Homo-oligomer: A and B are copies of this chain.
Amino acid sequence: MSEELAARGQTTAAQVRKDLSHFGSFGKRGLGYRVRELRASLQRIIGVDRPWRVALVGAGRIGLALFEYPAFRARGYECVAIVDSDPEKIGTVWGNLTIRGPEEFETIVASLDVELIILAVPGPAAQELAARAVDAGVKGILNFAPIRLNVPPRVPVEDVNLIMELEALSFAITQAQRDA
């Protein structure tokens, strides 16, 4: 039931029903939802009913942590290439992949059908690599660089900015202390 889904999702039953109604009608009145079917429908809507080919750009510590994060593959995000500009790292093998140099980037994206990149490089390099990725056909970017990437609007970008997350905590705590 929407009530149970809401409890799990930290929201309200009405919200669940209204959100679902944007995409269709998935339940049965008087009964609720059949979970397997609903899940399958949502997976299709979100687009995670098929694997996605991902390239990791930046083989630093964040890149490594992400590369070894098993949940990615488990959820259908398959890392098919790693690129880094550090000559020390190029040629190194991680798992079943060899780290490539940035000059091969376009070739890799095209030949391996890379759809998404995880951009985990220092700020200054990020914009150029993002632009090259988009030109090479990448369709979306998960960006860890603390800059606002300038890419065409058709290419979605999700920013992960850990400093801002911590600052959100600092703000919430500071506010609460002031109110008290």
Contacts and interface: CB of A to CB of B under 8 A. Distances in A.
Nearest to A61: B65
A170 B65 CA distance: 21
Interface of A: 8, 10, 45-48, 52, 54, 60-62, 64-66, 68-69, 71-72, 75, 77, 115-116, 139-142, 146, 148, 154, 156, 158, 160, 162-163, 165-176
A35 B62 CA distance: 33
Contacts of A54: 166
B116 A71 contact: no
Given A61-B65, A65-B65, A162-B142, A171 B45 contact: yes
- Among A69, A75, A173, which residue has the most Cβ atoms of chain B within 10 A? A173
Contacts of A160: 160, 162, 165
A166 B77 contact: yes
A176 B165 CA distance: 29
Given A148-B10, A166-B77, A115 B173 contact: yes
A116 B169 contact: yes
A142 B166 contact: yes
Contact of A169 (B158, B162, B173): B158
Given A72-B163, A116-B166, 17 more contacts: A46-B167, A47-B171, A47-B175, A48-B167, A48-B170, A52-B166, A60-B65, A61-B65, A62-B69, A75-B167, A77-B166, A140-B172, A140-B173, A141-B169, A142-B169, A156-B168, A156-B169
Given A116-B169, A139-B173, A66 B158 contact: no
28 contacts: A8-B148, A45-B174, A46-B167, A47-B167, A47-B170, A48-B167, A52-B166, A52-B170, A61-B65, A62-B65, A62-B69, A69-B162, A71-B146, A71-B162, A72-B166, A75-B166, A75-B167, A77-B163, A77-B166, A115-B173, A116-B169, A139-B169, A140-B172, A142-B162, A142-B169, A156-B168, A158-B166, A160-B165
